[in-house]
Amino acid sequence: MSSSIHHEDNNSNHRRNNHTRNGNIRYAQVPPRPVADDDVDPPNQGTVRRVVTTTKMNKSKSKDRDPIDGVKFLCYGIIALAIALGSFFLLLFTFWKRDHHHAGSRHRQQRQRKVKLMFRNRTIYNTSNAINMIKNNNNNTNNTNTTSTTTASSTTTTSRIATFRILQIADIHLGEAEDTLWGPEQDRKTWIALDRIMAAEQRRQRDDVDGDDDHDGDDHHRGSGNTPMIDLIVLSGDQLTANNVDENATSYYRQLAGNLTERYPDVPFAMIFGNHDDMPFETTDGDGVVHRHPPAKTTRRQLVTALDDDGDGDDDDVNGVHSSRLSLTRGGPTDVFGVSNYWLDVWYDANTLGARILLLDTGGGSLPQQIHPTQLDWMVSTNRNPPTTPSSRHDDGDDDDDKDTDLLPLPPVIAFAHIPTIDFDVVANDNPSCRGERSEPIIMNVSYDAGLEVTLQNMGNVHFLAVGHMHGNDDCCPTRTRTTPSSSSNTSTTSTSSSSSSSLLNLCFGRHSGYGGYGHWERGARVYELTLTDDLQFSWTSYVRMESGEIQHAYVPPPPTPPP
């Protein structure tokens, strides 16, 4: 038995040695011999067989390798390298974006702090007085006049005044019928109308032979050069027809802020809300019935927040200019009815407050259309405590100054709201001093005004209240002193002495400025020019600038008369 096994092993070794030596037959082609559990090659022979087999197989694979395998290997390497490089640059971009975001926020805050409303100094050439002086000199040649002579270079006298001009844009109603071809076309026509109005005001500056602008570069928010005629734009409500806008009201406000900044890059703007800015979305069924879907999809607070960024998550747009860097819009105190209740201060110089602008929220949309007693209490208290320096202002209404300012003269105040009170209807009755168009004699007023007109009169320094809402009206009227407040529960409102005396307060409508909304009257905007003399005597005038460029309905308020 053992001899036969030994003989078989020798034959096997002989076959393996022959195949290895001549190399004509590949070992890989020889079927493997079944090996029993007890049939184990000697250590040396088994080791040699495995080494030789591995060598032969590697040589065979290297000869038969497909060239495509090399291309695949190269592609895999390129993909891995691209992933590594992409991850590296993504990490760098993340760090850059974070630093850029913080730097942009600081830059935006610094730019916004530089938007400081200032009166502009102007030189007025009084030609008529100079002509009278020339005539007097001709009548008396021996009379020497130190202020005017007959020479051409000194035929005028000069004086200095400071002016501040406000453009009231009323009821532009962007987004009206946004799902139709008609709606976006109205938005386009609205911007054309505003461009024409602003261009006409710019031409007035160039053609104004009565004076020229002289800026104090260190304390004015604009530089020299192509300085606009308008110092501030007030959008007095219904910037948007939110009841036609499905879920994207904030995007319209961002577009509005961006367009104002791009088109009029040196003119700051402020907004108050109207009854349509946050109105719940509406749909119309096949029978023409309008269905409202409350609650409002966009709140007033969200609209204020929308003006703080440009909608893409960045602080700067593609041009490096923040969309709302010129916006002075803000939300008022949360314990006061409404949202857009705030003050803007206009400075005569670096340390002298020239005038204040009061902006009031009359509700509507998601809120009741009203003036609430909390608003009257807030505006009376903050009016008595104006800021004394730009750094001490508190336009949000927080009465946090501990010094007594009751003995200081109060600066003049002008006010803007959206929805008129019933007083706008009463004041126009048999009032020959009114100037302007009253195409809608029936006023759609707030349901409750808490005695707003009497409160403004009793404040003693409010010169006018301007509203919008009625698209067919643009008149200005002086008020008469009221004897009792109308439907007011506000304890700060007191009666005045006589209804026959003329009040300091005037009531004005702005001109319908946009092509959205009802009505086919010619579009325009009301301009208010505030004036301060060297001794801080305040006055104001107003006119309507039409889209055609024409000036209409100029208004000079009559002086107030004391009660008898």
> Within 10 Å of residue 399's Cβ, how many Cβ atoms?
11
Token pair listed for 189? 């026509």
Residue 36: exposure state from Cβ atoms within 10 A (0-12, 13-18, ≥19) = exposed
Dihedral (C-alpha) 176, 180, 186, 189: value to the nearest 10 degrees? Answer: 150
Residues 406 and 258: their CA atoms lie apart, in Å, by: 41
Residue 506 has pLDDT above 90, yes or no: yes
Q: What is the mean pLDDT of residues 365-381?
A: 96
108 dihedral zone (left: phi>0; alpha: psi -120 to 50; beta): alpha
Computed on alpha carbons and rounded to an integer, the radius of gyration of the chain in Å comes to 41
Residues 303 and 77: their CA atoms lie apart, in Å, by: 51
> Within 10 Å of residue 202's Cβ, how many Cβ atoms?
16
Residue that wins the pLDDT comparison between 353 and 325: 353
DSSP structure class, residue 380: H
Let me know the angle formed at the C-alpha of 108 by 103 and 109, rounded to the nearest 5 degrees.
100
Q: What is the mean pLDDT of residues 463-485?
A: 87
Residue 20 has pLDDT above 50, yes or no: no
Place of tokens 């020229």: 212
Are 418 and 371 in contact, with CB atoms under 8 Å apart?
Answer: no
152-183 pLDDT, tens digit each:
334 445 567 899 999 999 999 999 988 889 99
User: Which residues pair with residue 161 across a beta bridge?
Assistant: 122
Let me know the angle formed at the C-alpha of 245 by 242 and 251, rounded to the nearest 5 degrees.
90
What pLDDT, on the 0 to 100 scale, is given for residue 399? 46
Residue that wins the pLDDT comparison between 85 and 369: 369
Query: Residue 223's pLDDT band (boundaries 50, 70, 90)?
Result: very low
Place of tokens 């004076």: 211
Residues 314 and 312: their CA atoms lie apart, in Å, by: 5
Q: Which of 410, 436, 417 is nearest to 551 (CA)?
A: 436
Question: Judging by DSSP bridges, how do beta strands 502-509 and 476-480 pair with one another?
Answer: antiparallel
Residue 39: exposure state from Cβ atoms within 10 A (0-12, 13-18, ≥19) = exposed
Residues 387 and 395: their CA atoms lie apart, in Å, by: 9
511-522 pLDDT, tens digit each:
999 999 999 999
Round the average pLDDT of the chain to a whole number and report it.
75
The 3-state DSSP class for residue 413 equals strand
Q: What are the angstrom distances between the C-alpha of 245 and each of 242, 252, 276?
A: 5, 9, 10
Report field, pTM of the whole predicted structure over 0.85: no
Question: Judging by DSSP bridges, how do beta strands 462-467 and 413-416 pair with one another?
Answer: parallel
The amino acid that residue 334 corresponds to is: T
Residues 172 and 407: their CA atoms lie apart, in Å, by: 42
106-144 pLDDT, tens digit each:
444 444 445 789 998 865 544 444 334 334 443 443 433
User: Which residues pair with residue 524 across a beta bridge?
Assistant: 546
Q: Which domains does the chain have, with CATH numbers?
A: 153-555 (3.60.21)
Q: What is the mean pLDDT of residues 187-211?
A: 82
The amino acid that residue 332 corresponds to is: G
Residues 386 and 327: their CA atoms lie apart, in Å, by: 22
402-440 pLDDT, tens digit each:
444 445 689 999 999 999 999 999 999 889 999 999 999
Place of tokens 């009815």: 337
What pLDDT, on the 0 to 100 scale, is given for residue 225? 39
Residue 510 has pLDDT above 90, yes or no: yes
224-261 pLDDT, tens digit each:
334 568 999 999 999 999 888 887 688 899 999 999 99
What pLDDT, on the 0 to 100 scale, is given for residue 501? 64
Token pair listed for 224? 């020299």
DSSP structure class, residue 231: S
Query: Residue 381's pLDDT band (boundaries 50, 70, 90)?
Result: very high
Q: How far is CA 245 from the centre of its chain?
A: 18
Dihedral (C-alpha) 85, 90, 91, 95: value to the nearest 10 degrees? Answer: 140
